[in-house]
Amino acid sequence: MVARQLALFITLEGVDGSGKSTQSRLLAEALAAAGRPVLLTREPGGAPGAEAVRRFLLETSLAFDPLSESLLHFAARAEHVARTLRPALAAGLVIVCDRFFDSTLAYQGYGQGADRAVIATLIRLLNFTPHLTFVLDVAPEVARCRLVARGTRIDRYERFDAGFLSRVRSGFRAIVSHYPERCIPIDASLPVPTVHAELLAHALRYFRTPAAGLPGARDGRA
């Protein structure tokens, strides 16, 4: 008998400088090495149209109303879900996604003051919820130091002040407390290998005891 592949949709969230992109890559590599077919993807992005929205959003100097900005992220996301994520899940892949809708709640909702009930409605309409979300938590000062040390170009969101980063962090913490069945808080101030080992252990545990069902419109609260 051929073993059934267990599709799984994992997202990693956290403030800029939390180490999420490194951890996404390490997790995807480890799952692939463990014999799982993996798709590593990111937001905003992950499909041609969504990558175009990403370039625009990260490079523009235009100021947007927080609702407009939320809608731009959801336009990119709808494209990502339709063209990349749904087909990947249907094909039995394990998806490791660097940011998803929790970033809109945290950045545009908690950080920029967009109406979180509207974002929650968009989440319901999207009807595609991760099985597992790792929320990498780190103090804004530590995150800022990492960004400076990284030395890459500072994007639109990284230009926001320290107060913004604190609101985003509080937003992620609120999301963890609202969705404890889906979200796992991770101390991202620990060394990279330690954080990686924790994420991998959680993901592998999930394969042994998967929650029922595929992603659906389970998250309506904000």
Binding-site ranges for ligand TMP (CB under 6 A): 16, 42-44, 58, 73, 99, 103-104, 107-108, 155, 157-158
Residue 38 or 76: the one with the smaller Cβ distance to ligand TMP is 76
Q: Which is nearer to ligand TMP, 157 or 179 (CB)?
A: 157
* CA–CA distance, 174 with 133 (Å, rounded to integer): 14
> Please, which residue, 59 or 155, has the CB nearer to ligand TMP?
155
Residue 104 C-beta: closest distance to ligand TMP, Å? 4
Q: Where are the beta strands (DSSP E) in 1-42?
A: 8-14, 38-42
| Shortest Cβ 17–ligand TMP spacing (Å) | 9
CB 74 within 8 A of CB 131: no
Rounded to a whole number of angstroms, the minimum distance from the CB of residue 128 to ligand TMP is 14
Integer distance in angstroms from the first to the last C-alpha of the chain? 44
Nearer Cβ to ligand TMP (58/82): 58
Q: Are 136 and 19 in contact (CB under 8 A)?
A: yes
Max Cα-Cα span within the chain: 57
Least Cα distance to 130 among 211, 56, 61, 18 occurs for 211
Find the shortest distance in angstroms from Cβ 20 to ligand TMP: 6
